[in-house]
Chains A and B, each alone.
Chain A
C-alpha cells in the first residue's frame, strides 16, 4: 500500500487522530512564536531531539529520518544565504524550527492510519456538506489512491515501450499518451459507476 504510515506498530497507532493532530498544531504554533535567538534555537532543537528519541524508541528512526530528504535544497540555500549575510544564529533558528516542525509532523503521519486521517478530514469538512458532499469526496479519494499505482504502471509501460524503440530518453513525450489513457479510464470508470447505481 502506497502510504507513509509505518507498518511497525507503535503505541501511537492506537491514539485517536483528532487529538494527535491538535497536539501537532499546538506544538507547531508554539515553535513559530516570536522569540529571541538562543531560546528559540534551544526549544526547536529540544523538540527535534524529542521527536528523534520517540521515533527511535518506537523502532522507526530510519524511515522517519529518510522523510527529511526534501529539506536538503532548503538547508543548502539557508546555509549559503546566512553565511553570506553573516547571520549564522538567525539561519540556525530557521533551520532548527523547520526541521522540528517537519519531524513532528512526519511522526504524526507515520503513526496514523490513512483511514483515520481521512475520517477526520471528512468530519472537519462536514459543515461544508453543501459545497463538498462527503460521499463523492470519499469516493474520489478512494478512486485517486486506487489509480496512482495504475497510472504509475502505465507510465512505466509507456516508458519501456519508448526505450525499446529509441536510444533517447522519453522525458515529456510520454505525458500526452498518459493523459489520453487517463481520459479513457475516466470514461470507463464513470460508466462502471453508473452501471452500479451511480456515485451517490
Chain B
C-alpha cells in the first residue's frame, strides 16, 4: 500500500521535474519536451494501474495550479487551450502503455518501444487531436494535419523510453513493476 502510494507520488513528481528542466528538451523549442516521455515511462516501468494513477496525479496537481507544465505554467486555464486533449489523455496514455507493456511478449526494450507508440502516441493523439480541434476551432482533419508535426519527436521519445526502461530494468530488476 505505502509502496504503491510513494511510487505514484514520486513518478508524478518525476513527470513534473522533466518539464521543469529546460536541459531535458530533446528538440529545442516549445512543447517538445521530455514530459510526454515521462508519461510513457510511467507506463513501461510502473505498469497500467500505478502508471495511470501517477499520470493522473500529475494532471490533478497541474490543474490545481502548480506551474509544472513544460515552460512553467499550470492551472485550469490550460483546459481552454489546444493542449486540453493531451492533458486529459495523459493518464489514459500511461495506462494503455503499461497494459501493453505487461502483455507484449518481446524483450523489454522492444516491448517498451511498441507499448510507448501505442499508448504514448496512439492513445494520446486520440485525446489530443479532438482537444486541439476544439481548442483551436479547427476540424478533426485540420487538427490531424497539425499533429503530424509531433510524430518525429514522439518516435524519438519512444526509442528513448525503450532504452531508458531497459537501463532501469538492468539497474533495479525488481523495480520493473509492469513486468512484475
Contact = CB atoms under 8 A, between A and B. Distances in A.
A144 B6 CA distance: 9
Contact of B21 (A150, A152, A184): A152
Interface residues of B, number: 63
Given A93-B137, A187-B3, A189-B10, 8 more contacts: A2-B68, A144-B13, A144-B61, A152-B20, A175-B37, A180-B168, A199-B1, A200-B1
Interface in B132-156: 135-138, 142, 146
A117 B66 contact: no
A3 interface: yes
A143 B24 CA distance: 23
Given A151-B14, A155-B17, A175-B34, A94 B57 contact: no
Nearest to A117: B64
Contacts of A151: 10, 13-14, 16-17
Dominant secondary structure at the A interface:
helix
A69 B71 contact: yes
Contact of A112 (B2, B34, B65, B142): B65
A172 B24 contact: yes
B10 A185 contact: yes
A176 B164 contact: yes
B66 A3 contact: yes
A4 B81 contact: no
Contacts of A171: 23-24, 26
Interface stretch (B72-80, B97-105, B120-128): B72-80
Interface in A6-50: 21, 24, 28
A69 to B, nearest CB: 6
Interface in A94-150: 94, 97-98, 101-106, 108-110, 112, 114, 117-118, 121, 136, 139-141, 143-145, 147-148, 150
Given A102-B80, A114-B66, A117-B64, A172 B26 contact: yes
A144 B16 CA distance: 9
Interface of B: 1-3, 5-14, 16-18, 20-21, 23-24, 26, 30-31, 34, 37, 41, 45, 57-58, 60-61, 64-69, 71, 73-83, 135-138, 142, 146, 160, 163-164, 167-168, 171-172, 175
Contact of B3 (A93, A184, A190): A190
8 contacts: A97-B137, A102-B77, A140-B5, A159-B21, A176-B168, A190-B6, A193-B2, A200-B1
The CB with the most chain A CB atoms within 10 A, among B30, B37, B73, B77, is that of B77
B66 A2 contact: yes
A176 B171 CA distance: 9
Contacts of B168: 176, 179-180, 183
Contacts of B81: 70-71, 74, 98, 102
Q: How large is the interface on A (under 10, 10 to 19, 20 to 34, 35 or more residues)?
A: 35 or more
The CB with the most chain B CB atoms within 10 A, among A71, A98, A172, is that of A172
A151 B26 CA distance: 18
Contacts of A21: 76
B83 to A, nearest CB: 7
A136 B5 contact: yes
Contacts of A102: 77-78, 80-81
B164 A175 contact: yes
B78 A70 contact: yes
A140 B8 contact: yes
